[in-house]
Amino acid sequence: MTSSPEPPSASRRRDIDWLRGVAVLIMVAAHTFDAWTVPVERSTAAFHRVMILGGFGAPLFLWLAGVAVVLSAERVVRRGGTRHVATVSILRRGIEIFILAFLFRLQAFIVSPGSSPITLFRVDILNVMGPSIAAAGLIWGLWRSRAAVTLMFAVMAAACAMATPLVRVAVWVNALPVWVQWYVRPAGDYTNFTLFPWVGFVFAGGAVGVLIAAARDPRAERRVQWSLAAAGAMVAGCGFYTASLPSIYRQSSFWTSSPTYFAIRAGVLLIALAVTHALARGAARRGTDVVWLERLGRRSLFVYWIHVELVYGYATWPIRHALRLWEAVIAYVAFCGLIYGFVLLRDRLVGRWRSRGPAASPLFSRP
């Protein structure tokens, strides 16, 4: 813990930046261990534990996106803007991220020669995050009552989770255009993510964002946070309990399509935010901060943009599936240091660019 030389703006929340920074570390761990661990160790219990932890990175990003969408919209209204303006801003952000998804794939296609052009349409997390943010913005904009918006977000999140096993085997999906099918259910290498159940995490985050935004002072927010943590414990406990019961679905997989695992992860995320909020408050009272974690959280999109090709591309090809687990741990730590160096370089270059006048591009100006 060190004093922060770069205090966050009043419009940012330290706890969310910290938690997003944790998501960055989890995401990088999932990809590096997956890409670099030698096959013989991929069947070990330790590797499986790492992969389970890595599986929380994507839900955390999507969930925080939902939280941030609502907090951003509520902030616009508090500053005198209209709900229409706030909603349009969210929709624009969702469209922007969706476009960035294809630009990211185009970059990967150019940087990694030999890929098939069809990979330009592969569905990854940005392809899902963009439409999900837009949908969350529409839900927030349609209802003025916070209770109604919270309920609608919660219902939509639960519906997405519950519908996932049904959608995966639905016959009507076959009638959709093939590229649309990739957004609905897995299609091998063409889908890393699908709308079901992943959009549900954005909706769940939206519900949390509404409740946090309703807290008008620090004391009220502390009550909200610990209430959410208690709710998270109950949701996760319900998920574990129902996972022990016979499935109500004809076909379902716990790790990929089961609503029980969705509930477990959602509960853990609620608890994680409350804990992070408490740590951030404690750090603020002492005038300290975890600068590097906060910075990683702010630049999560930039880190995502650059690290995937470094992990899976030619730059690290000599260690692809070649490291023992303990060697992968060392490589992961070193790689995180390298990524943080790129973040510092990015901030320095953007700072110089802005000092000369032109505004930064969306990729480098958004967290």
User: How far apart are alpha carbons 237 and 83 in whole angstroms?
Assistant: 37
Residue 217: CA count within 13 A, CB half-sphere? 2
CB atoms within 10 A of CB 312: 18
Cβ-contact 33, 54 below 8 angstroms: yes
User: How far apart are alpha carbons 367 and 108 in whole angstroms?
Assistant: 21
CA distances from 68 to 18, 61, 71, 101, 191 (A): 13, 10, 5, 19, 26
Q: What DSSP designation does 37 have?
A: B
User: How far apart are alpha carbons 139 and 157 in whole angstroms?
Assistant: 12
Kindly report the length of the chain.
367
CB atoms within 10 A of CB 295: 21
CA distances from 104 to 249, 342, 353 (A): 36, 18, 23
Give the chain's residues under pLDDT 70. 1-11, 113-114, 357-367
Q: Which residue has the tokens 């609608």?
A: 152
191 beta partners: 123
Listed in sequence order, the residues at least 6 apart from 184 whose beta carbon sits closer than 8 Å to its beta carbon are 167, 173, 176, 194, 195, 196
- Positive or negative: CA dihedral 264, 187, 183, 101: positive
Extract long-range pairs of 314-322: CB within 8 Å, 24+ residues apart. 314/111, 314/112, 316/35, 316/36, 319/36, 320/35, 320/36, 321/35, 321/36, 321/37, 321/38, 321/39, 322/36, 322/38
User: How far apart are alpha carbons 86 and 322 in whole angstroms?
Assistant: 49
- Give the pLDDT of residue 357: 62
Question: In terms of C-beta density within 10 A (0-12 exposed, 13-18 middle, 19 or more buried), how is residue 357 classed?
Answer: exposed
Structure tokens at 24: 């960055």
Q: Which residue has the tokens 């998270």?
A: 232
| pLDDT tens digits, 190-229 | 999 999 999 999 999 999 999 999 998 889 999 999 999 9
The three-point CA angle 84-68-273 to 5° equals: 150
Q: In one letter, which amino acid is 249?
A: Y
Q: In one letter, which amino acid is 29?
A: A
Structure tokens at 223: 């009550």
CB atoms within 10 A of CB 113: 7
Residue 92 phi, psi dihedral angles, 5° rounding: -65, -40
Structure tokens at 1: 């813990």
User: How far apart are alpha carbons 339 and 307 in whole angstroms?
Assistant: 7
Listed in sequence order, the residues at least 6 apart from 278 whose beta carbon sits closer than 8 Å to its beta carbon are 225
